[in-house]
Amino acid sequence: MRIPKIWLILTCLFLPLVLAGCEGDDGSDGDAGEPGSPGRDATASTIALSFLGRYETGEFDESAAEIVDYDPATRQVFVVNANSGRVDILDISAPGMPALSSSLDVAADITGAVSTITNADELGAANSVAVSGTTLAVAVEAAVKQDNGYVAFYQTDGTFLAAVEAGALPDMVTITPDGNTALVANEGEPNGDYSVDPEGSITLIDISGGAGSVTAANVSQLRFTAFNAGGSASLGSNVRISPKSASVAQDLEPEYIAVSADSSTAWVALQENNAIAVIDVNAREIRAVLGLGFKDHGLIGNELDASNRDDGINVREWPLLGAYMPDTIDSYEFNGITYLVTANEGDGREYLTDADSAEDCAARGGFDFDDGDCFHYLDEIRVGDILDSGASMELANLERFAPDLDTLTDNANLGRIKVITTLGVRDCPSGSLEVSGQPTAGCVYEQLYSYGARSFSIWNGSTGELVFDSGSDFETITAQRLGADFNASNDENGGDDRSDDKGPEPEAIEIARIDGKVYAFIGLERVGGILVYDISNPERAEFLQYINTRNFDVDIEELVDAGDFSAAGDLGPESIKFIAATDSPTGEALLIVGNEVSGTTAVFGVNLVIND
Query: Taking the CB of residue 1, how many other CB atoms lie within 10 A of it?
Result: 13
Q: Report yes or no: 544 and 512 within 8 Å, Cβ to Cβ.
A: no
In whole angstroms, give the CA distance from residue 400 to residue 318. Answer: 9
Buried b (16+ CB within 10 A) or exposed e, 319-328: bbbbbbbbbb
Query: Which range (30-44, 415-429, 467-481, 550-564) has the least confidence?
Result: 30-44
Q: For the sheet with 600-610, list strands across it.
A: 45-56, 600-610, 590-595, 573-579
Q: Alpha helix locations (H) across 205-299?
A: 248-251
**Least confident segment among 14-18, 83-87, 366-370, 573-577:** 14-18
Q: In terms of Cα–Cα distance, which of 313, 321, 270, 274 is closest to 295?
A: 321
pLDDT at 40 over 70: no
Distance CA 202, CA 37 (A): 47
pLDDT at 10: 37
The C-alpha atoms of residue 198 and residue 13 are separated, in whole angstroms, by 28
- Residue 546: which pLDDT band, with cuts at 50, 70 and 90? very high
pLDDT class for 34, splitting at 50, 70, 90? very low
Q: Is the CB of residue 240 less than 8 Å from the CB of residue 272?
A: yes
What is the DSSP annotation of 477-538? HHHHHHGGGTT--SSS--TTTTTTTTTT-EEEEEEEEETTEEEEEEEETTT--EEEEE-SSG
> How many residues are there in the chain?
612
pLDDT at 46 over 90: yes
Three-class SS state of 556: helix
Residue 17 banded pLDDT, cuts 50, 70, 90: very low
Q: State yes or no: pLDDT of 252 exceeds 70.
A: yes
3-state secondary structure of 250: helix
**Alpha-carbon gap, residue 341 to 328, rounded angstroms:** 8
Q: What is the pTM of this model?
A: 0.92
Is 22 strand, coil or helix? Answer: coil
pLDDT at position 292 over 80:
yes
Backbone angles phi, psi at 50, to 5 degrees: -135, 135
CA dist 407 and 318 (Å) reads 13
Residue 512 makes CB contacts below 8 A (sequence gap 6+) with 19, 22, 518, 519, 521, 578, 580, 589, 606
pLDDT digits (tens, 9 = 90+) for 432-483: 999 999 999 999 999 999 999 999 999 987 777 899 999 999 999 999 999 9
pLDDT, mean of residues 227-232: 95
pLDDT of residue 261: 86
The confidence band for 494, taking pLDDT boundaries of 50, 70 and 90, is very high
pLDDT at 89 over 50: yes
Residue 44: other Cβ atoms inside 10 A: 12
310-355 confidence digits (pLDDT tens):
999 999 999 999 999 999 999 999 998 889 999 999 999 999 999 9
Tell me what the pLDDT averaged over the chain comes to. Answer: 92
Q: Which amino acid is at 285?
A: E
Confidence of residue 22 (pLDDT cuts 50, 70, 90): very low
- DSSP state string for 68-126: EEEETTTTEEEEEETTTTEEEEEE-SSTTS-EEEEEE-HHHHHHHH-TT---GGGEEEE
Q: How far is CA 103 from CA 99, 143, 175, in A?
A: 12, 20, 21
Which residues contact residue 156 at a Cβ distance below 8 angstroms, ignoring those fewer than 6 apart? 71, 73, 74, 76, 78, 131, 134, 135, 136
- Per-residue pLDDT, averaged over 408-421, amounts to 98
Cα 288 from chain centre: 21
pLDDT above 60: residue 557: yes
Model pLDDT, residue 325: 98
Quick one: which of 477, 467, 578 has its CA closest to 527?
A: 477
Give the residue from 559, 573, 562 showing the smallest Cα distance to 527: 573
Q: How confident is the model at residue 43 (pLDDT cuts 50, 70, 90)?
A: low
Work out the widest C-alpha separation in the chain, in whole angstroms.
86
31 burial (CB, 10 Å; 0-12 / 13-18 / 19+) is exposed
**Side-chain-side CA neighbours of residue 206 (13 Å):** 12
Q: Return the percentage of the chain with pLDDT > 70, whole number.
A: 93
Residue 382 pLDDT exceeds 90:
yes
Report the pLDDT value the prediction gives residue 611, as an integer from 0 to 100.
80
Contact 386, 203 (CB under 8 A): no
Residue from 285, 344, 327, 276 nearest 128 by CA: 327
Which residues lie closer than 8 Å to 23 by C-beta, 6 or more apart? 513, 580, 582
Non-local (6+) Cβ contacts of 230 within 8 A are none
Provide the terminal-to-terminal Cα distance of the chain, rounded to the nearest Å: 36
The residues near 41 (Cβ < 8 Å, ≥ 6 apart) are none
The pLDDT of residue 42 is above 80: no
H or E element, residue 138: strand 135-142
